[in-house]
Amino acid sequence: MRNTIRAKRKKPPFWWAFIYSVMLVSFTAFVLLKTFVIQSVQVAEVQAGSGASVTAEKTAAVNASVSDQSYKDSNISVKLSQERVKDTTVYIADIQVSSADYLKTAFANNSYGRNIKETTSEMAERNNAILAVNGDYYGFRDDGYVLRNGTLYRSNYGDPDEEAFVLYQDGTCDIIKESQQTAESLLDAGAMQILTFGPGLIENGSMAVQANQEVEQAKNSNPRTAIGMISPLHYIIVVSDGRTEESQGLSLYELAEIMKDQGCTEAYNLDGGGSSVMYFNGKVVNNPTDGRKLGEREVSDIVYIGY
Q: Are residues 80 and 213 in the same domain?
A: yes
Q: Are residues 23 and 152 in the same domain?
A: no
Q: Distance between CA 240 and CA 190 in Å, rounded?
A: 31
Q: Are residues 120 and 195 in the same domain?
A: yes
Tell me how crowded residue 283 is: count the other CB atoms within 10 A of its CB.
10
pTM exceeds 0.75, yes or no? yes
Q: What are phi and psi of 276, to 5 degrees?
A: -65, 115
Q: Which domain holds residue 16?
A: 12-40
Tell me what pLDDT residue 240 has.
Answer: 98
Average pLDDT for runs of 10 along the chain of length 307: 44 53 49 48 57 72 93 98 97 98 98 96 98 98 97 96 97 98 98 97 96 68 96 98 95 97 98 97 95 91 98
Please report whether residue 237 resides in a domain: yes
With H, G, I as helix, E, B as strand and everything else as coil, classify residue 53. Answer: helix
Tell me what pLDDT residue 215 has.
Answer: 66
Tell me what pLDDT residue 55 has.
Answer: 74
Q: Are residues 128 and 18 in the same domain?
A: no
Tell me what pLDDT residue 291 has.
Answer: 74
Q: Are residues 36 and 89 in the same domain?
A: no
- The distance from CA 98 to its chain's CA centroid, rounded to whole angstroms, is 23
Q: Are residues 50 and 168 in the same domain?
A: yes
Looking at the structure of the chain, the number of domains it has is: 2
Please report whether residue 182 resides in a domain: yes
Please report whether residue 141 resides in a domain: yes
Q: Are residues 118 and 20 in the same domain?
A: no
Please report whether residue 3 resides in a domain: no
